[in-house]
Amino acid sequence: MLPRSGSRITLSRILLVGLAITLLFLINRSCTEQPTTLERVQNKGQLVVLTRNSPTTYYEGPDGPTGFEYDLAKLFAEHLGVNLKIVTANTFGEVIPRTAHGDVHLAAAGLTVTEERAKRVRFGPVYQEITQQLVYRAGKDPPRRIEDVIGGTLEVMAGSSHVERLKALKLELPALAWKENTELESEELLSLVWEKKLDYTIADSNEVALNQRFYPELRVAFDLTEPQQLGWAIPKSKDDTLYNAAVDFFNIINANGKLKQIIERHYGHVSEFDYVGTRKFMQHFNERLPRFKAMFMQAGVQSGIDWRLLAAIGYQESHWDPRAASPTGVRGIMMLTRTTAAQLGITNRLDPDISIRGGATYISHIIDQIPGRIPEPDRTWLALAAYNIGFGHLEDARKIAQQRASDPDKWIDLKENLPLLRQKKWHNKTRYGYARGNEAVVYVENIRSYFDLMIWMTDPRPPRPDSTINELAPDIPTILPPVL
């Protein structure tokens, strides 16, 4: 039996009303649904990152912003297709609270992952490991255990994981005492130990490695912790989108080697601290460089190369001795060969001005030969290797790198392949044959360290209000001269 006409109309109305309600619900939901954190970042085109102004995180270098954490954060922003906005914390102690409050999208500040911090923020993937180290100055009896610091002045950054560690130690050692500094960064506390204004401080191993070159008498007494992990801090939320994006990012840069390259860029040349060599460099900086400084600066203007890099090359070559000579016939401050000097039209290699300008012209020429696709700083490190070993041998090493599935455009990979030029099974296959590629690696790494020292020693940073160079203990040589 067919339904009556009125029933069909009623059913249609019910269906239409139901459809309308469903559409209104979906429209209302789409209007009220909030964008995710990742969507907000991408819609605004900006990733806001909180960090610290320090050598291991973020600072202004000769060529603009740099630092390990800065380079990582910038790469993450590029991965998301947005711009990076850096916000620096006034004190270390405000990093976690500001992040937990949601003032920034994340904190990339060399943060140790601890249980206490994990209660307030969410940590992203681990990208580096450090240990906490007790640091003192050479010239006093080294502490062998934590009990030995009792009675001395121990100062650490307020809000740091070092405080957490000390509080744990104090449970077993009630007499242990320290001061928590709310104003100074780890580098500044290390300098106070070097100046004998503090007996001890605690710093992460990566910070110690970087700063020992600048404060050569600093010593590590012992590790206070087992290896600890560093990670980015992200505000806690039910919204996982930014966190998941960070996980994906670190998976990618671990797989493609980018993370390894950034670590090498900032720490690869500081793994072996040379106290005697660093002290000698500082002495020569004061005694020898002033005579040649204007020459290096003028050569820098003419070549477009930072004069401090040219000076670092000159120091590696001759220790700024204009009459330096080697048994192989290279001579002068920049130790030019006869062949190179002839190519440059140089007749007197012992004239320091001529030698410096010749060396600057030569290194500039080599840099121009490096393929344009290779970015800085790898471009310069490769050029320096060629300056030492010859461009032909550099190309041989780059071909070996390709054969071994390494990246011939990256210094981190090339410095693993240059030493193979000494091995017959490799150099027999090359155009230019045997070469002491291991020496080229040492050459470049030394120059990188000298360049860092040159930047640090010529940086006109304002003195701390509580410390000036004139207040240094009388037995400490002045290594921070007026800006040349």
The predicted pLDDT at position 100 comes to 96
**What is the 3 state secondary structure string of 245-303?**
HHHHHHHHHHHCCHHHHHHHHHHCCCCCCCHHHHHHHHHHHHHCHHHHHHHHHHHHHHH
195, 317, 395, 439: which is the annotated catalytic residue? 317
Q: What residues does each domain of the chain span?
A: 39-129+230-267, 132-225, 275-458
Q: Which of these, 223, 279, 191, 209, lies nearest to 479 by C-alpha position?
A: 279
For residue 451, what are the contacts with CB-CB under 8 A and spacing of at least 6?
Answer: 306, 308, 309, 312
- Predicted pLDDT of residue 20: 65
| Alpha carbon 254 to chain centroid, angstroms | 17
* Rounded Cα gap, residues 277 and 267, in angstroms: 18
- Predicted local distance difference test score (pLDDT) of residue 459: 74
Q: Locate 329 and state its tokens.
A: 């016939």
Strand, coil or helix: 83: strand
Per-residue pLDDT of the chain in tens (484 residues, 90 and over written 9): 445 555 555 666 666 666 666 666 565 555 557 899 999 999 999 999 999 988 889 987 766 788 899 999 999 999 999 999 999 998 899 999 999 999 999 999 999 999 999 999 999 999 999 999 999 999 888 999 999 999 999 999 999 999 999 999 999 999 999 999 998 889 889 999 999 999 999 999 999 988 888 888 999 999 999 999 999 999 999 999 999 999 999 999 999 989 998 998 888 877 666 777 888 899 999 999 999 999 999 999 999 999 999 999 999 999 999 998 876 678 999 999 888 899 899 989 999 999 999 999 999 999 999 999 999 999 999 999 999 988 999 999 999 999 999 999 999 999 999 999 988 888 888 999 888 898 899 899 999 999 999 998 887 543 333 332 222 333 323 232 222 2
Distance CA(368)–CA(160), nearest Å, equals 46
- pTM of the predicted model, to two decimals? 0.71
Same fold, 39-129+230-267 and 275-458: no
pLDDT at 7: 55
**317 tagged catalytic:** yes
Question: Would you state the pLDDT for residue 27?
Answer: 57
pLDDT for res 62: 64
**DSSP codes, 299-341:** HHHHHTS-HHHHHHHHHHHHSS-TT-B-TTS-BTTTTB-HHHH
Q: Which element (helix H / strand E) includes 186?
A: helix 186-194
pLDDT of residue 373: 94
Burial class from Cβ neighbours inside 10 Å (0-12, 13-18, 19+) for residue 418 reads: buried
User: What does the pLDDT read at residue 464?
Assistant: 37
- For domain 275-458, the question of CATH label 1.10.10.10 is answered with no
Structure tokens at 172: 């077993």
Amino acid found at 426: W
According to CATH, the superfamily of the domain at 39-129+230-267 is Periplasmic binding protein-like II (3.40.190.10)
CATH 3.40.190.10 assigned to domain 132-225? The reply is: yes
Q: Are 215 and 457 in contact (CB under 8 A)?
A: no
The pLDDT value given to residue 474? 30
Dihedral over Cα of 66, 378, 422, 326: its sign: negative
